[in-house]
Chain A
Amino acid sequence: MLNLIKNEWMKIFKRPGTYVMMAILIAVTIIVGIFFKYQDNNNKAAVDKNWEQTLQQENDALKKQMDQSQTKIEKKFYQKEIAINDYRIKHHINPHEKYNVWSFVKDASELIILAGLFTIIVSAGIVASEFNWGTIKLLLIRPINRTKILTSKYLTVLMFALFMLGILFVFSMALGAVLFGMPENALPYLNYNNGQVTEQNIVVHLLIYYGLNSIKMMMLVTMAFMISSVFRNSSLAIGLSLFLLFTGDQFTALLSLKFAWAKYILFANTDLMQYFEGTPMVEGMTLTFSILMLLLYFVVFQFFAFFVFKKRDVAA
């Protein structure tokens, strides 16, 4: 299996396109960094000395709003804000931290979508290209069954996704450190869960944040992989997956306004962050439900990919 993955890795990294992708990812991160740096310079003036008082005022206002608000969801949101503000006042944690490397890493995580885009391109091509090149014939007449070959291809895609995310994380960290400097003492991230506020190391928080943000990308990568294997057509796989990557959320949000079954749509479940920091897209959804849905989609995608690949008559 290791040898098979080595082969796939070689086939990805001996093509110039892969380096173009890496270069684009790094270039865009630099552009974003410069943009934030420029903004940061403009905003330097406003540093609030009496932030504790300001927070207290904010809390009072929030409490009034909470009393007036009608929906449960809104109330929960206000509760959370107030709890976090209280915690800050009590433990002297300034909310207006100077923009530093960690703030930048968090902002740069928006670029995960770009890493996702590139991984989808690789994933869409990894099976379909072998058919296009005609090399599938020589690949499948080795003493290795097709399931193993396809598994090695999927694992390679996963590794490539990690590789892209790794580049983004490490590079944005390095760039952030250069442009914005390391904070003197890293302030923890404040987690709110069931009325409890807990501190979390900022790096751990960022890694979790990355992980949760990558779920949608991984599901679409898996879908692209399936389309690639079932239809042997990389353009279709890329096109459809990218279209859903960019529009899936909006469509699902629109549908969820009208229909309750929208919660069964993949994109209603890809953002697990909604259970930690926000409100679910459709009322009544839980973390367990979403994880089960994600698993279900994953299994269905993989089932089609493997079933078709194994049964296929290769006549390319």
Chain B
Amino acid sequence: MEKIVELRDVTKVIKGRTIIDNISFQVNKGEVFGFLGPNGAGKTTTIRMIVGLMGITSGDITIAGASIKTQFEDAVRHVGAIVENPEMYKFLTGYQNLVHYARMTKGITKEKIAETVELVGLTDRINDKVKTYSLGMRQRLGLAQCLLHDPQVLILDEPTNGLDPAGIREIRDYVRLLAREKNMAVIVSSHLLSEMEMMCDRIGIIQNGKLIDVQLVQEFVQSTESTYELEVFPSDKALALIETTYPNIRIGRSRNGISIEVSKEEIPQLVKILVNEDIQVFGIKEIAKTLEDRFLEVTKEKEAATHA
């Protein structure tokens, strides 16, 4: 995989406060990179530094090999971005807005604008003033604005903020499509985990300005041990039994019985023991950990580590 965006030891200090602390990561072509973190963790600041809206205190960011600090024009040429809400000129029509941005990059033809409008599905309303647009339509116009010049890197800051479920889904499908078909690198930031889980290939978790972890989504969600829920009767007896047989195991009560963290290979043995003791087993199911669980786990672990 070919890397296209690279952050090296990026630090941002504002008025003596370190907002972003030594972040390094890279994003490859054709990949959707999720940037995940609680509100105020530094997601938007990092994105602003990537597109050159904010200065970098130390470290450097390169896009397609060009530094955003020293070769701004060469670097930002490859980027299309929506930073926070896609704010447009409300007194202009959608089309005039696009013409406005098209004029600022070389070589965007009228056909290209029409094609992009078609792509985001705004053809019917493109000649209306933006002030008459719904939030979803503005979001689409924002997307059109950043796709005009066929960027290699697409940066979307909270792209689904304020959208209804249909709109969210549309954006998600769209992002995946762009990454797959046009080999774009997409950087998406969000604090909505479920959404990131469905959209991204890799995610980086940021907390208090520090990058805690970068992992593939699958790896991140799955860990070696899974949690299983056992529907058994009587559950008290089962609980006591398992605790004595496996003293080191993590076990607890759950809504329908007991939940227990074991590896898959142990399950048959476990069932045997339960059956031998005349405990009725109604069902066993694996409980997939969601990104949310993992996220909370990871951020909590880190917090505990720093406090200890």
Contacts and interface: CB of A to CB of B under 8 A. Distances in A.
B53 A313 contact: yes
Interface stretch (B26-34, B86-94, B254-262, B280-288): B86-94
Given A15-B91, A135-B89, A137-B53, A142 B105 contact: yes
B33 to A, nearest CB: 18
Interface stretch (B96-104, B179-187, B221-229, B230-238): B96-104
B91 A141 contact: no
Instruction: Determine which residue in B82, B88, B92, B104 has the highest number of CB atoms from chain A within 10 A of its CB, and name it.
Output: B104
B294 to A, nearest CB: 31
A6 interface: yes
A10 interface: yes
Contacts of A139: 104
Interface in A123-179: 133-135, 137-145
Contact of B83 (A3, A10, A137): A137
Contacts, number: 76
Interface string A298-311: 00000000000001
Given A10-B92, A10-B96, A11-B92, A134 B52 contact: no
A313 B48 CA distance: 9
By size class, the interface of chain B is 20 to 34
A134 B89 CA distance: 9
A141 B79 CA distance: 8
Nearest to A139: B104
A7 B100 contact: yes
Contacts of A143: 72-74, 76-77, 104-105
B53 A6 contact: no
A314 B55 CA distance: 9
Contact of A7 (B79, B83, B104): B104
Contact of A145 (B72, B82, B87, B103): B72
A49 interface: no
A141 B156 CA distance: 13
Contact of B51 (A10, A11, A141, A144): A141
A137 B14 CA distance: 19
A155 to B, nearest CB: 15
B54 interface: yes
Contact of A140 (B52, B82, B89, B96): B52
Interface string A12-31: 00110000000000000000
A47 interface: no
B87 A137 contact: yes
A275 B77 CA distance: 52
27 contacts: A4-B103, A4-B104, A7-B103, A7-B104, A14-B96, A133-B89, A133-B90, A135-B87, A137-B84, A137-B87, A138-B86, A138-B145, A140-B53, A141-B52, A141-B76, A141-B81, A141-B83, A142-B101, A142-B105, A143-B73, A144-B73, A313-B14, A313-B53, A313-B54, A313-B55, A314-B54, A315-B54
The 9 lowest CB-CB distance pairs between A and B, nearest first, are: A134-B87, A3-B103, A142-B104, A314-B53, A143-B77, A313-B54, A143-B73, A137-B83, A141-B51
